[in-house]
Structure 1
Amino acid sequence: MKKRLNKNLNINKTIITIVMLNIIQLGSIIAIVLFKYSIKKQLVKEENFKINIFIYLILSIVILNGFIIVRDFYLLNKHNYRYDMMKKSLEQVENLNKTLRAQRHDFMNHLQVVYSLMELEEYNEAQGYIDKVFKDIQKVNKALKTLNPAVNALLQAKLLYAEKRGINMEIVVTSQLKGLKIPSWEFCRVLGNMIDNSIFALHEKDKNRLLQVELYEDVKMYRFRIKNNGPEIPKDIRSKLFDVGFTTKGERGEGMGLAIVKQIITNYGGDIYLQSDENVTVFEGWIKK
């Protein structure tokens, strides 16, 4: 699977080839039409009729071929985006796997250090060492609570990403997401966009940056909640946040993230809504079981 994912889909070459073929077809028709009119006076009525039929037939084929090309181009883009998301999810799973293997590899070394410190009766040093190791292990364990490896890997990647930016990210998972009908790569798009938006919202805050991600469920729904203590979102733009092309990030934004989130959630029978005040901003969504 990894070898397959490492093969890049070169859509540009495909598009160029398709366009060139259509130009050749169109050029052939134009050449035939010009040739026909250049010898029109020399043709008898029956020959003129046959050439007209031939031209109309080729034109119909080109139009049909153009329609098929547009459709295939749309599907190719769609599959390529899906491929990119799957590749990204796989890379995140591999990174999480490397982290777990590194922890397992270092486990005996940590025990030996703690044992030696205890023998030397350096109890305070041993306690400090255990606290540091425990915190590292706890970071990974926070993200390993669902049955979905891609979601676990995404949460772990975002946790590290937030930490590097001085954001205290808390992950609260009380659902294993068993039976979630959204494909893993789609649900990762939803969570990834929401978390990235919250991280961006906190970049202007000097200190006490807090971000909380909750995954939970009830009898009928799988639910998620992304909460941050960034600035309040003005009321006059809240209704526009999920519109295609609308962004609050200026030149750094494309206005697609929240629109994609909304589309995916509603496609699977769910919804998402926003609450924001001067203390906290919350995006909460749900998906039917």
Structure 2
Amino acid sequence: MDSQKKLNILVVEDSVASYKAIVSVLQNFGFVINSERVEWKAEFDKKISENNWDMIISDFYLPDFDGKYVISRVKEYDPDLPIILITEFIPEESASEYLNLGASEFLPKSSIIKLPFVVNRELEAARLKQSQKKAWEMLVHGEEILTRSQKISHLGHFEVIFPENNTLWSLELYRILGYEFSEVPLMEKVWSLLDADEKSIIQSIWKQVMNENISKELVLHLNTKVGRKKVNLWLEAERFEENRFRIFGTIHDITDLSSLENSIQLNEQLFKGIFNNSSQAIFLLDLQGHIIRMNRNAILSFERNEADVQGLELISSIFSDSNEDSIKKLTYGMKLALKNQTFEVLVSYKLNDGREKYFDCDFYSLNDPNGKILYIVLEAKDITEKIVLERAYAQAQKLEALGTFAGGIAHDFNNLLTPMMAYISFLNQEWSKNESNDIIQKSMPAIEGISKSLERAKNLIQQILTYSKIDHSTSNQLDLKDQLLQVMNEFRFASKNQISLFTDLGEEPAFIEADPIQIFQILSNLYENSIFALQEITNPKITIRLEKVSYEKSDLFQIGFMKNTEYWKLSFEDNGTGIPKEILDKIFDPFFTTKGGKGTGLGLSIIYGIIVKMGGTILAESSPGKGTKFDLYFPAWKAML
């Protein structure tokens, strides 16, 4: 007996003592009883439907009705609900009658001690009956589901018993084959729908399955009354006696599925074509911002392998090295996309080699037909070249404005120098005629000093004219390496016992088109800046390197507007105090200086103006405490003309 079995029992009894005896004997045998007592017919009719009763225990003789009414009323309410009659005054033949009417058991009140065993038995019987009922319902329901599933999936099955050759087709198989339900099922009728070559194949496989008890699967074409169909045939043999076996099989109509697969494949190809050939870098993200797909342009622009970042969160993986402002904008854009709103943002992106790119990014969502968000898309347009060109244009405008101003000053100053140079030339000619005159001889060093000062003033005007439209510099083809050697000899002399100068100029001549004076200006300005930065350094060092580079394999590729394919790269590096990042972009601006009152702010802007006019450029790298490096790119000539 199941101890602690909970029971909801309705006791139909006019005797309170009998009711308590029934409850007590059941509780003593481990049942947990929840019961109610009724004795009147109206009360019974009301209570029978108010609760989910597990059992009815009833006396036969009641004040205004009897046990016969109880049985009939309960059977109307629930035919499977057990009813136990307990009474002393009923003939045995009458008890049999009531059992036939539907009572589960009859007990004399003197035998009430047997009640727990009867209750337990009836509960087990009710449980078994309920299980059988559910099993039958499941069987019927399962058959219905199978029939409906086969109809929905266009899958029919058949079975052939040997040696009788008894054949059974499912209803869906009749539909697939195009036969009426009154047709006698025969596998020969199926084979008659096949093409000749496929018919010979299936007959061979059929024999093989019969002899070897194996399963086979293949695709066939059936010429049915309703048209040609493509089907998937699956066969399996099962032997259940020595001389008896069966072949079970399914025929799956995949005609529509095949067309659907072709459409899906076409759409997939179209998607891949548009996705991968887009001029934009595209990231497909899930709703948590994890990367699902990257198109070809995204892989090239961001220089990241899709397999390395797939499944990772976009912002924390791809844009982890971007500045704080860019990360905030990206996070905000993602939040708006999750609300079905679009968002455009300009962000920076740092490559693994330290180069910085700029992207114009658009966030938007992809929705299903019901408006539910399925994916988030980030489209990023590489605008690095545009940003660099805008900066170069702004720098050029600054230089042009300064050049106009400097040109006017240089013109007026040149007007002052011209007569002075003429007077000095006249004095040299006249005094050279009187070399014996002691006074004239004493004045000659002063005249020579004035001449040199005027010559330096002329060179200074040449520097100023570098900014102006009146550029009197003369460009010649020269060997940059030779020019460097000449200038470095002066550097070594000036820096003796103070600064270590290291060079790596290679063996190949470095032919460029330039003005030697301007080359001197470039190197002298860079050298003076390094001297200033190395003042407080214990082991000051300057390193100069010269090498030929190609446009596509150098840092020039990020600039995008360079014309030549080969350049001579001159690197000028020191281990000085370095330049803070926040002012690194301003160092080429005219009159911007980090030297306080000791500098004019024209040195680097002069270098920038000279090298841009030559068709090259200059890039700077610096970190506080780690020194500064300038990379100057000169358009390369193959040989001296």
Q: TM-score, normalised by structure 2?
A: 0.23
Higher CA-based Rg: 2
Higher relative contact order (CA 8 A, sep 6+): 1
